[in-house]
Amino acid sequence: MGKTFYLYTKFNLVKPALKILIEQPVTDSFSIERLEKRIVNTGFSNRLSYHRILFIENGTGILTVDDNSFEIKMHEVFLLSKGQVYQFETPSVVSGYIVSFGDCFWEKTPKSASNCKAVLFNNAAANQRLQLNGSEMDELNFLFKALLNEYNIPPYTNHIDTMAAYLKIIMIKLANVKITEESTFDSQDYLLYRKFMELLSSEYQNYHAVSDYARMLNVTARRLSELCRRCSHKSAKEIINGQIVAEAKRSLQFSSSPVKEIACQLSFSTPEQFSHFFKKNTKISPADYRNQFISIGM
């Protein structure tokens, strides 16, 4: 199986300050790599084409994801969603594992694990970093090592399905870490929250109102908002708006589509309505946001 994924690349040419590179295709939409005291200074921003799990045993440095910066420590996991922009700042050194996977690879996992991906990656900013205890570290370390060993052996019939099964187990374990972090609500509410996040991931372009999702989940809008606050410290409306804003930002940054076309794709009645929504949630107009990015490259 080809290894086409690289964590960082060295360039001799000076890049513009806001240069953003889009990561290259990965064979079979999946890759895993062992990091052993790896220097991971990228020197420039990178836009993710795949979802990414960064499992850190030990590390130092700063990881910036979108507009947020995190000090890299030990015994933690970073979850980065497709479309997010990240950069490691100097000096950053990491030991652990890094996994990249696309939606087409994830589709090979059993459907029973689909809500784990929705909860962890659809609201990436809320789950960007998970802190692990000793037993969680040991268990996940074993699973990542097993997945890496599977990845490195010669391909065979159902090889990809086997790796997808390992990824499913890892995602379930990570979702359980998230559940453990949240001790103020019962499991039934959390399952409903996970269903909401999964539904939002497929319908945010069509539905913007809390009442729409409450109807599809057969609960009241008030109950949906209350359980979202308990599970994520955000209201359902804040989560919905966050999903729409994140997609709008990606479209403005990484496509040449006119603002009116982006507005239409996100089911806004008019470009003016979209611009008002975007500015209300980001304090900047869509045009001004796009103009911040002086160079977008491959």
pLDDT at 6: 37
pLDDT at 7: 44
Those residues whose C-beta lies under 8 Å from the C-beta of residue 245, and which sit 6 or more positions away, are 278, 281, 282
Those residues whose C-beta lies under 8 Å from the C-beta of residue 287, and which sit 6 or more positions away, are 259
- CA 111 remoteness from chain centre: 19
pLDDT at 120: 80
pLDDT at 145: 97
- d(C-alpha 281, C-alpha 79), whole Å: 23
Q: What interhelical angle do 210-217 and 187-203 show, nearest 10?
A: 120
DSSP state string for the chain: ------S----SSPPPTT-EEEPPP-GGGEEEEEEEEEE---SSEEE-SSEEEEEEEEEEEEEEETTEEEE--SSEEEEE-TT-EEEEEEEEEEEEEEEEE-HHHHTTS-GGGHHHHHHHHTTGGGGSEEE--HHHHHHHHHHHHHHHHHHHSPP-TTHHHHHHHHHHHHHHHHHHHHHHH--SS-HHHHHHHHHHHHHHHHHTTT---HHHHHHHHTS-HHHHHHHHHHHHSS-HHHHHHHHHHHHHHHHHHH----HHHHHHHTT-SSHHHHHHHHHHHHSS-HHHHHHT---EE-
- d(C-alpha 197, C-alpha 118), whole Å: 6
Q: Which segments of the chain have a pLDDT < 70?
A: 1-22, 41-43, 110-115, 119, 122-123, 179-187, 293-298
Q: Is the dihedral of CA 200, 202, 203, 208 positive or negative?
A: positive
Residue that has been written with the tokens 């187990």 in this structure: 169
How confident is the model over 232-290, as pLDDT tens digits?
788 999 999 988 998 898 788 777 899 999 999 999 999 999 999 999 999 999 999 88
8 Å CB contact between 81 and 121 = yes
8 Å CB contact between 223 and 189 = no
Cβ-based burial of 227 (10 A; exposed 0-12, middle 13-18, buried ≥19): buried
- Strand-pairing partners, residue 20, are 45, 296
**Global pTM exceeds 0.85:** no
Pairing of the two strands 85-101 and 51-65: antiparallel
CATH node for 20-181: 2.60.120.10
How confident is the model over 211-243, as pLDDT tens digits?
999 999 999 999 999 988 887 788 999 999 988
- d(C-alpha 27, C-alpha 245), whole Å: 30
pLDDT at 195: 85
What residue segments make up the domains of the chain, in order of their start? 20-181, 187-297
pLDDT at 179: 61
Architecture of domain 187-297: Orthogonal Bundle (1.10)
